[in-house]
Chain A
Amino acid sequence: MNGEIVSTRHMSSADSWFKQIYKEQEFVYPKFYKMDALSQAGFLASELIKRSNQGLTSEYKDDEIAMLFANQSSSADTDMRFMHSYEHNGAPSPSLFVYTLPNIVLGEIAIRNKWYGENMFAVLPKFAPGFFVDYGKILLSTGAKALLCGWLGVLGDDIEVFVFLVESESDNGSDFNVENLTDLAQLGHP
């Protein structure tokens, strides 16, 4: 979080990595346990960002924060679980099916925060800073004053979560451009 390590994964734990973070950080949002891994990833990252930007939920109107997310694998992780439910477990699981869309994570974050802003989820072959900068700037010029953006790759043990906040006016942070975003994204892959 902002370059600081806030949680370290314990490989020996019976809990998933996301559940470990939820417990360690003492979040209280029972709906978390119903979410699929993609939504849990987005929920945790957005809650951590809110903690370090206390004004985020009070400084903006309920429709001034837009969300722009992307990944490469869509909701494939949950898609496979849902397919397993009807091919091997006897019946299609409705509680899994409702998570078989990648934009559901945006719905979960919107519900959590009562955010009525613009939402977009894109599927791209790899992290594309240019897409976030181009479309992010469009959203900031057409009504949004802040953007919660993220690359959320969840496929089995292969997990890539990079969520960042863009504000049209801010005292800290760096300029929202491809170069800075590329640098930030590479911090996690030294």
Chain B
Amino acid sequence: MTYIGAEVIISPLGRTTAENWAAIRANQSGISLVKRAGFDKSDLYLSKMLDLVDDYKFEKLLIDALSTVAQEIDPAILTSDRTIVIISSTKGELDKNIHDQFGKSISALISRFLLANQPVVLSNACISGVLAINAAGNFIDAQIYDHAVVIGCDLISDFVIYGFQSLFAVSDQPCAPFDTLRNGITMGEGCGAVVVSQTKNIFRNGALQLLSGTSANDANHISGPSRTGEGLFRSVKKTLENNQLTAEDIDFVCAHGTATVFNDEMESIAFDRLGLSDVHLSSLKGYFGHTLGAAGVIETAASMQMMRHGLLVKSLGYRESGTSRKLNVIAENAASQPETILKTASGFGGGNASLIIRSL
């Protein structure tokens, strides 16, 4: 069995997992109007860590996340040669060194935490975080490593803001996933971490079970989602089948839900094809914004908090169904003890990934 725990969230909602959970359960959003943030000096809604003023922000967040992880697990794990650190990110410390966006930060982690193995950076657009957790599970199932620390981290920069603006993909309001009035993403920044291990008792606060996940490409378009949801459909179908589960076994879907018209529509089609239309579903983008390479880890960590606290939080920003296929989007917080949850992600390059977590 593969275990997952020690979840960490650092976001505009708080510097600790507990602060983030308190904010989410109170349905607070990290999104605020940031003056002159856009390319045209327009004001823009962002989920930005306004109090993060360090020089090397990416490195600072990685160090904070790993320091917190160290307190949540058996301290000998971090320096073990049976442990791998996997980092998911799209642009790393791009603002500091565009030629080598990860090198300095990774070197700092190795020397500061005495890591035995060279960390691996996975950079697969918006599925990076889910892919990284899947990779961690795979490394452990294959007994190549015994433990993996997965850290997802991405920052808001002019680079990504201007890029998404150039694609007309940015919402003029706080994003509203799956809602009829949704009109784009709200960019977010932050850091998440989880530990995946073959050993249950390394976790100070208990563990959940990680089932092996998969990815699948849409083979359709580099920046637009498949209209039939083919890649997402295939990834979830494979993940369910690999674990001998069916749609009926899923109690909650933590969807990607970026709040662009086409992404959310695609997800509704894929989930409908999968027989998941009636399953409770949320997007957490209304709380954290779209944190790109960090999203999969932050949202998995938040889902784990929901499982631990027995509360499914509402999909913030959702009022009225805006997809052609029915989804059971959670409109109000609901006490629930989900046994089995599905986390999905979809992104540029046609990537789709999914994973399943079970309570023990």
Asked if A124 contacts B121 (CB within 8 A), the reply is yes
Q: Any chain B CB within 8 A of the CB of A190?
A: no
CA–CA, A119 to B122, complex, Å? 11
Asked if B124 contacts A120 (CB within 8 A), the reply is yes
User: In residues 91-125 of chain A, which contact B (Cβ within 8 Å)?
Assistant: 91-94, 97-104, 106-108, 110-111, 113-125
User: In residues 210-227 of chain B, which contact A (Cβ within 8 Å)?
Assistant: 212, 214-223
Q: Any chain A CB within 8 A of the CB of B39?
A: yes
Given contacts A98-B348, A110-B219, A138-B139, contact A121 B39 (CB under 8 A): no
Which of A73, A104, A117 is B348 in contact with, Cβ under 8 Å?
Answer: A104
Q: Which residue of A lies closest to B241 (CB)?
A: A143
Q: Which residue of B lies closest to A62 (CB)?
A: B219
* A74 proximity list for chain B (CB < 8 A): 92, 101-102, 123
Count the A residues whose beta carbon is within 8 Å of the partner chain — how many? 51
Q: Any chain B CB within 8 A of the CB of A56?
A: no
Binding site for A on B (CB under 8 A): 39, 90-92, 94, 98-103, 106, 118, 120-125, 131, 135, 138-139, 141-142, 144, 158-159, 162-167, 212, 214-223, 230-231, 234, 238, 242, 348-351
Given contacts A120-B122, A120-B131, A120-B215, contact A92 B165 (CB under 8 A): yes
Asked if A124 contacts B118 (CB within 8 A), the reply is yes
Asked if B100 contacts A135 (CB within 8 A), the reply is no
State the Cβ distance, A68 to closest chain B Cβ, in Å. Answer: 11
Which of B39, B103, B120, B124 is A86 in contact with, Cβ under 8 Å?
Answer: B39
Asked if B118 contacts A128 (CB within 8 A), the reply is yes
State the Cβ distance, B239 to closest chain A Cβ, in Å. Answer: 11
User: In residues 131-161 of chain A, which contact B (Cβ within 8 Å)?
Assistant: 131, 134-135, 137-138, 141-143, 155
Asked if B163 contacts A104 (CB within 8 A), the reply is no
Q: Is the interface of B mostly helix, strand, loop or mixed?
A: mixed
Asked if A135 contacts B135 (CB within 8 A), the reply is yes
Asked if A76 contacts B351 (CB within 8 A), the reply is no
Q: Any chain B CB within 8 A of the CB of A80?
A: yes
State the Cβ distance, B38 to closest chain A Cβ, in Å. Answer: 11
* A118 proximity list for chain B (CB < 8 A): 214-217
State the Cβ distance, A63 to closest chain B Cβ, in Å. Answer: 6
Asked if B125 contacts A110 (CB within 8 A), the reply is no
Given contacts A103-B125, A138-B139, A138-B142, contact A82 B100 (CB under 8 A): no
Asked if A116 contacts B118 (CB within 8 A), the reply is no
Which of B39, B124, B138, B349 is A138 in contact with, Cβ under 8 Å?
Answer: B138
Q: Any chain B CB within 8 A of the CB of A47?
A: no
Q: Any chain B CB within 8 A of the CB of A49?
A: no
Asked if A131 contacts B234 (CB within 8 A), the reply is no
State the Cβ distance, A145 to closest chain B Cβ, in Å. Answer: 14
* B350 proximity list for chain A (CB < 8 A): 106-107, 110-111, 119
CA–CA, A94 to B169, complex, Å? 11
Which of A93, A116, A121, A142 is B234 in contact with, Cβ under 8 Å?
Answer: A116
State the Cβ distance, B20 to closest chain A Cβ, in Å. Answer: 27
State the Cβ distance, A177 to closest chain B Cβ, in Å. Answer: 14
Given contacts A73-B100, A142-B242, contact A100 B122 (CB under 8 A): no
Asked if B102 contacts A123 (CB within 8 A), the reply is yes
Q: Any chain B CB within 8 A of the CB of A167?
A: no
Asked if A79 contacts B98 (CB within 8 A), the reply is yes
Asked if B106 contacts A111 (CB within 8 A), the reply is no
Asked if B222 contacts A98 (CB within 8 A), the reply is yes
* B142 proximity list for chain A (CB < 8 A): 134, 137-138, 141
CA–CA, A142 to B103, complex, Å? 31
Can you list 16 residue pairs at the A/B interface with Cβ under 8 Å? Answer: A73-B100, A74-B102, A82-B159, A93-B166, A102-B123, A103-B349, A110-B350, A111-B220, A111-B221, A116-B217, A116-B218, A120-B135, A121-B122, A122-B121, A134-B144, A143-B242
* A178 proximity list for chain B (CB < 8 A): none
Q: Which residue of B lies closest to A79 (CB)?
A: B98
Which of B100, B131, B141, B221 is A72 in contact with, Cβ under 8 Å?
Answer: B100
State the Cβ distance, B87 to closest chain A Cβ, in Å. Answer: 9
Asked if A86 contacts B101 (CB within 8 A), the reply is no
Q: Any chain B CB within 8 A of the CB of A83?
A: yes
CA–CA, A107 to B217, complex, Å? 7
Asked if B122 contacts A91 (CB within 8 A), the reply is no
Asked if B99 contacts A131 (CB within 8 A), the reply is no
Which of A80, A86, A122 is B162 in contact with, Cβ under 8 Å?
Answer: A86
Q: Which residue of A lies closest to B97 (CB)?
A: A76
CA–CA, A125 to B234, complex, Å? 32
Q: A103-B125, A107-B351 are in contact. List 14 more A-B contacts (CB 8 A).
A: A79-B101, A94-B163, A97-B163, A103-B348, A107-B218, A111-B222, A111-B350, A116-B219, A124-B121, A125-B103, A125-B106, A135-B138, A138-B138, A138-B139
